[in-house]
C-alpha cells in the first residue's frame, strides 16, 4: 500500500529528547534514536472508523446510535475505541499503531519542548477541560485549533482525544515508579483529552489502561492515529 | 452567625475534626500554569474534618431536612455496604450540609494547607507518588474500584491528620474558580461561577493527586452521572470568621 502524503507525515530518522522530570513515570529525560516513519496528520475520525466498521463488519462503538455516528461528529476524532479495535483498524489500512517513542517524537520534535507548539501552555491551542467545560464542548472537529501543530506539522496531538500507542505501559528503565497499572498488563495512552486538564496533554505525559478499556459515557474515551514504517 | 473557635474547641462540634494552627504555608506550584505562582500564604486557625463526609452522614442530613439526595442513589438510598464511602454531591448540596452543621466548605488555601502542611510537599505524605496511599487511576484502571471507605487509606494521612485528601473523589472548596493573584495564566474557565475541586479522584492519574492541583465544576452539577463516573465529595471546616 502506498502512503498518502496528504494524510501522513514523514518523520526523519534521528535522535529526539524523550521524557520529563516533572513526574517519575516520565523520567528520566534522555536522547533516543527513532527510525524514520510515517504518522497520520490527524487522529482517525468517526466517519473513517464507521466506514471501516461497515466494510470490515467490525463492532459498533458504544456511544453511536444504531445507524452510526451522526454527521455532526463525522470529522471529530473517534472516541471510545479499545486498543485491539484501534490495532485492527490500523492493520486493515495496511498501517500500525505508533510506538510510544514515535508518538512523542511526532508531538514534540527533537528539542524536548513541553507542548507541540513550544515551551509554554497556550489554552486556545488545545481542547482540554480548562476550556472545554467553560465552552460546553466535548470533542471538537479535527484541526479546529490552528495552534495545535507539532514541529513536523502533525495536528491535534494535545487534547481532544487520548490516543492509543502500541507499547505496554511500563516504567522507563530502572525508574522507581511502580503501581498496578505499570505491571505490564496495560497499554499506553497519550495526549490527554477534553475530559482532562492540561497536565495530561503535555507531550511527555503517559498513563496506562487495560487494552479493553474504552472510556465512559459522559467522559469519552480513547481514540488513535496510525503509523507506518 | 459566626462560630467561635475558642468556645467550641472542646465541644462536640469539633468531634472528628483536626486543628490547623494559624500561620503561613507554601501554596501553589510554579511548574503548572493554573497553580502558579508558588507563594507563602497566611491562613488563620481552623478545624477541618479528618474524613470526607460519608453517605450515611449525608443520608441522615437528607432525612432530617428534606434536602435533595444524589440523583445516582437508587430510590433515595446509597448502595448497600457504602455507608462509610464518601457522599458524592453537587457543590450546592455540600454547602447546604456544611451550613446545616454550623460549618462551611474549606477555602482553597485551607484545603491545600490541610493537605500538604507548611513545607510545600507535593503529596500529603511527601514528595513521591505512592499508589498504596490513595485510590487513583494507577490502581482503579486495573482493579475497577471506583469507591472505598473514607477510612481506607490511613497511610495517606496529611501532616495535620486529614485522610483521603487526594484520590478517591474530588473535593469541593468554597471558592469560585479563578486565576491566582499574580498568575499570568489566562483561562475561559476563570471567573464564570465555577467552583474549585481539589485532590483528584479514582478516575484521574497522579497528576491530579498533588496537593496543589486545581480543577473545577459547575456548582449545580447534575449528579445523575455519578453512578459510573463518581462525583465530588467534600469535608467541612469550622473557623472563627472575621467580620
For A8-228, CATH gives: 3.90.1580.10
Q: Flag the least confident range among A27-41, A155-169, B48-62, B68-82.
A: B68-82
Distance CA B120, CA B134 (A): 19
Predicted confidence (pLDDT) at residue A77 exceeds the cutoff of 70: yes
Rg (CA), chain A: 16
Q: What ipTM score was computed for the predicted complex, to two decimals?
A: 0.95
Distance CA B185, CA B167 (A): 26
User: Could you give the percent of chain B with pLDDT greater than 70?
Assistant: 94
Closest by Cβ to A216, choosing from B204, B213, B229 = B229
Confidence of residue B228 (pLDDT cuts 50, 70, 90): confident
The overall average pLDDT reported for chain A is 95
> DSSP letter at B7?
H
pLDDT digits (tens, 9 = 90+) for B135-149: 999 999 999 999 999
What is the separation, in whole angstroms, between the first and last Cα of chain A?
12
Rg (CA), chain B: 17
pLDDT for position A1: 42
For B27-33, what is the mean pLDDT? Answer: 97
Contact B207/A130, CB-based, under 8 Å?
no
Closest by Cβ to A23, choosing from B33, B194, B206 = B206
pLDDT digits (tens, 9 = 90+) for B134-191: 999 999 999 999 999 999 999 999 999 999 999 999 999 999 999 999 999 999 999 9
Class of domain B5-238 as given by CATH: alpha beta
For chain A, give every domain's residue range. Answer: 8-228
User: Could you give the percent of chain A with pLDDT greater than 70?
Assistant: 96
> DSSP letter at A32?
E
pLDDT for position A3: 57
Closest by Cβ to B142, choosing from A181, A198, A216 = A181
pLDDT for position B243: 44
Confidence of residue B232 (pLDDT cuts 50, 70, 90): very high
Contact A180/B142, CB-based, under 8 Å?
yes
- CB contact, 8 Å: A1 with chain B? no
pLDDT for position B11: 58
pLDDT for position B1: 45
Contact A200/B205, CB-based, under 8 Å?
yes
Contact B188/A179, CB-based, under 8 Å?
no
Instruction: Name which of A118, A130, A164, A209 to mutate to probe chain B: the one with the most chain B Cβ atoms within 10 A of its Cβ.
Output: A130
Q: Facing residues of B216 across strands?
A: B196
CA of B206: which chain A residue's CA is closest? A23
Contact B129/A130, CB-based, under 8 Å?
no
For chain B, give every domain's residue range. Answer: 5-238
Residue B214 grid cell = 486545581
* Nearest CA-CA distance, residue A228 and chain B, Å: 29
The residue behind cell 494552627 is B21
Amino acid at each position: 500500500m502506498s502512503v498518502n502524503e496528504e494524510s501522513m507525515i514523514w518523520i526523519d530518522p534521528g535522535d529526539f529528547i524523550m521524557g520529563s522530570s516533572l513526574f517519575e513515570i516520565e523520567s528520566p529525560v534522555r536522547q533516543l534514536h527513532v527510525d524514520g516513519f510515517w504518522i497520520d496528520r490527524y487522529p482517525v475520525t468517526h466517519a473513517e472508523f464507521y466506514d471501516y466498521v461497515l466494510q470490515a463488519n467490525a463492532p459498533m462503538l458504544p456511544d453511536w446510535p444504531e445507524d452510526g455516528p451522526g454527521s455532526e461528529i463525522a470529522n471529530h476524532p473517534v472516541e471510545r475505541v479499545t486498543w485491539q479495535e484501534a490495532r485492527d483498524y490500523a492493520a486493515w489500512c495496511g498501517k500500525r499503531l505508533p510506538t510510544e517513542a514515535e508518538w512523542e517524537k511526532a508531538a514534540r520534535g527533537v528539542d524536548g519542548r513541553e507542548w507541540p507548539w513550544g515551551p509554554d501552555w497556550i489554552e486556545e491551542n488545545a481542547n482540554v477541560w480548562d476550556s472545554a467545560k467553560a465552552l460546553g464542548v466535548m470533542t471538537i472537529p479535527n484541526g479546529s485549533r490552528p495552534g495545535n501543530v507539532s514541529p513536523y506539522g502533525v495536528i491535534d496531538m494535545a487534547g481532544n482525544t487520548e490516543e492509543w500507542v502500541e507499547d505496554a505501559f511500563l516504567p522507563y528503565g530502572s525508574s522507581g515508579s511502580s503501581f498496578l497499572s505499570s505491571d505490564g498488563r496495560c497499554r499506553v495512552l497519550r495526549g490527554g483529552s477534553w475530559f482532562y486538564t492540561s497536565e495530561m496533554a503535555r507531550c511527555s505525559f503517559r498513563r496506562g489502561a487495560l487494552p479493553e478499556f474504552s472510556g465512559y459515557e459522559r467522559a469519552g474515551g480513547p481514540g488513535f492515529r496510525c503509523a507506518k514504517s | 452567625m459566626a462560630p467561635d473557635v475558642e468556645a467550641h474547641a472542646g465541644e462536640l462540634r469539633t468531634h472528628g475534626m483536626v486543628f490547623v494552627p494559624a500561620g503561613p504555608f507554601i501554596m501553589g506550584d510554579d511548574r503548572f500554569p493554573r497553580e502558579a505562582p508558588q507563594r507563602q500564604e497566611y491562613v488563620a486557625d481552623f478545624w477541618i474534618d479528618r474524613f470526607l463526609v460519608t453517605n450515611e452522614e449525608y443520608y441522615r442530613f437528607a432525612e432530617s431536612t428534606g434536602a435533595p439526595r444524589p440523583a445516582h442513589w437508587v430510590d433515595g438510598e446509597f448502595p448497600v455496604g457504602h455507608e462509610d464511602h464518601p457522599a458524592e454531591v453537587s457543590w450546592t448540596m455540600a454547602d447546604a450540609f456544611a451550613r446545616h452543621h454550623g460549618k462551611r466548605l474549606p477555602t482553597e488555601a485551607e484545603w491545600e494547607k490541610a493537605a500538604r502542611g507548611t513545607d510545600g510537599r507535593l503529596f500529603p505524605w511527601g514528595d513521591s507518588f505512592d499508589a498504596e496511599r490513595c485510590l487513583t487511576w494507577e490502581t482503579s484502571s486495573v482493579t475497577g474500584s471506583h469507591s472505598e471507605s473514607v477510612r481506607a487509606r490511613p497511610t495517606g494521612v496529611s501532616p495535620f491528620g486529614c485522610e483521603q485528601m487526594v484520590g478517591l473523589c474530588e473535593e469541593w472548596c468554597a471558592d469560585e474558580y479563578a486565576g491566582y493573584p499574580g498568575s499570568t495564566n489566562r483561562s475561559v474557565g476563570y471567573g464564570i461561577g465555577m467552583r474549585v475541586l481539589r485532590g483528584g479522584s479514582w478516575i484521574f492519574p497522579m497528576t491530579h493527586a498533588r496537593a496543589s492541583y486545581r480543577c473545577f465544576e459547575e456548582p449545580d452539577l447534575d449528579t445523575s452521572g455519578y453512578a459510573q463516573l463518581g462525583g465530588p465529595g467534600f469535608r467541612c471546616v469550622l473557623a472563627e470568621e472575621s467580620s
